[in-house]
Structure 1
């Protein structure tokens, strides 16, 4: 039995069912004809798909942008790393170059310290010997004022020469380091000029010492034994020193080689002339002293006056000896100056080091000889 509610439902449902059946029938017909069906249901599904597609496209675009941004960030990081690596490489190269120069300077300094130790030992021995000789001569005769003055002058010269040697060694150390460090010619020229002025100072010291005690300078007691073995008129032979330099300064230009050869030849001629003058002076002194001794041996009273006259002549000849020593030092000084003019600044620096090393080896040889074991 139908209730009023059911009748009402049927009244609303039956038309809907009839419409649905008609729509289904029409849909079947459209499917067979290939016509696209448009309905409220199909429109809703299409909008949902469009929204999904847009969301997927947005996700893809976001991912692409994010990937692009990541690639840009990665490229920036790589560029910064490359720039940082280049800076590090430059800094490492600079550090290596500074370390290399430091090692070169340290090596040269250590070598100089090792050679300076033996030199200082020798200087101390020579100074002690000079002090002992000075004290002995000064106390040998209290009434002989001339000998006392001469002894004091010799000791003073020895002390001044020792100070000069210390300063000279510092000049050589600076010159050696400058050459090892490839210092510019302008800076190197300042050091070379300083060494040349320092040589002028020792020649002035020898001039004062020659006036005070010419025999002390002539004997070379202020030098090492090996140096005295090669000495000539209170110093070195310029011609022999030039021979040593030529073999260490190669390569030289033809003009430089000719200049050195001419300088060596002129130095040799001047040395020969001074040597002949010294021989003549020695013979003249021997003849004068022999005449004075003969006069005393004769026993005549008048011969005493003759004896005193001959001794006065001998004393005057000793003044000539002082002149010979001064001329020899002048020759040595001019040879060094002329050598400086012929050579370039860098060659002159090397030449000064060669000269210094040559005499250093002579002093080292003397130290070894004095310290040799004796049976």
Structure 2
């Protein structure tokens, strides 16, 4: 016979155990089927969840595969087209840059060839000038003055030949800059460089005039064709402005008026200097003529020496005429630069240089002509 306590326990717990038995077996069957019941003591991230997520994404991928694929394709095509346009534009820019580079190189090579031929001509002219200078140095009865004058002319010829070579280098840079469409501020630097280089040759001529005014006046340091058009040791400013007028179009009304006024004022100054030179020649001729009649006797010798001293004093005015002529040429160039724009001034300097280059080339052809 069971104890009363035990009987009570049996009545309370046995039915519950019996009810729990099917549940346990059911849990065992769920375990076999691969399903897992989560509990507070198990990890929620399981393989089932992973497989479920993969399945969900696969379904979503199937559902939106068509639209998403079309979106990706259109985006790729758009990016490819944009990339193609950039590549084409870059290639076009490279081709244009290469074309301009070839043009600049071709122009530079042509200028080098031209400079080489001009330099050969200058060397011939310089050799001729050196011979003339040496002859002057050794030709007089007095060694002092003539020797100094001869050395001065040779030094001037050397300096002028060097100046001419440097001038051609400046002109080549200016020509390349104009063909490459350089900015105006950069182009102005080159234009000012050429203008300052012209100032240098005027200083050289001033020193040479003090050394031997007749050498500068005769133009023996220039080519024969340049000497043919020479006026008082250089070019006529008014004639040079006429050459420029047809190469600087289009000009504004104000610029055209300024060029015309500059040409008129240059012409007037040239006429005044020419008249002064004629008057000087006439007074020198009269002085020498009066001195030529004084022959014989001590008084006549004294009179002769006095007349020659007067002639020497008058002849010293010749240096002043040459300086004024060069000053007129220098001021004409500077005034032209002020009237014109930067690009017009650059073209004007090229026209001037080309004009004198053609004169030197004409001289070379003339000297090299066949002689029967």
Unpaired segments of 5 or more residues in structure 1? 1-57
The whole-number CA distance in structure 1 between the counterparts of 2:344 and 2:220 is: 32
2:138–2:146 CA contact under 8 A, matched in 1? no
Deviations 1:179-238 (A, max 9, x none): 111111111111111111111111010000000000000000000000000000000000
1:233–1:328 CA contact under 8 A, matched in 2? yes
Equivalent residue, structure 2, for 1:139: 138
1:230–1:236 CA contact under 8 A, matched in 2? yes
The whole-number CA distance in structure 2 between the counterparts of 1:186 and 1:231 is: 35
Aligned length: 316
The structure having more radius of gyration, on CA atoms, is: 1
Equivalent residue, structure 2, for 1:128: 127
Equivalent residue, structure 1, for 2:300: 303
Query: Is 1:366 aligned to 2:363, yes or no?
Result: yes
Equivalent residue, structure 2, for 1:162: 161
The whole-number CA distance in structure 2 between the counterparts of 1:325 and 1:62 is: 98
The whole-number CA distance in structure 1 between the counterparts of 2:162 and 2:349 is: 19
The RMSD of aligned alpha carbons is 1.8
Equivalent residue, structure 2, for 1:116: 115
Equivalent residue, structure 2, for 1:328: 325
Equivalent residue, structure 2, for 1:252: 251
The whole-number CA distance in structure 2 between the counterparts of 1:258 and 1:103 is: 40
Question: What is the correspondence of 1:208-357 to structure 2 with a 5 Å cutoff?
Answer: 208-296=207-295, 299-357=296-354
The whole-number CA distance in structure 1 between the counterparts of 2:232 and 2:154 is: 20
Relative to structure 1, the CA distance from residue 70 to residue 140 in structure 2 (aligned partners, 3 Å threshold; closer, same or farther) is same
Deviations 1:9-28 (A, max 9, x none): xxxxxxxxxxxxxxxxxxxx
The whole-number CA distance in structure 2 between the counterparts of 1:224 and 1:205 is: 18
1:291–1:310 CA contact under 8 A, matched in 2? yes
Equivalent residue, structure 1, for 2:198: 199
Equivalent residue, structure 2, for 1:30: none
Equivalent residue, structure 2, for 1:13: none
Taking structure 2 as the reference length, the TM-score comes to 0.81
1:118–1:367 CA contact under 8 A, matched in 2? no
Relative to structure 1, the CA distance from residue 161 to residue 60 in structure 2 (aligned partners, 3 Å threshold; closer, same or farther) is same
The whole-number CA distance in structure 2 between the counterparts of 1:98 and 1:302 is: 84
Deviations 1:24-47 (A, max 9, x none): xxxxxxxxxxxxxxxxxxxxxxxx
The whole-number CA distance in structure 1 between the counterparts of 2:69 and 2:141 is: 104
Taking structure 1 as the reference length, the TM-score comes to 0.80
Equivalent residue, structure 1, for 2:183: 184
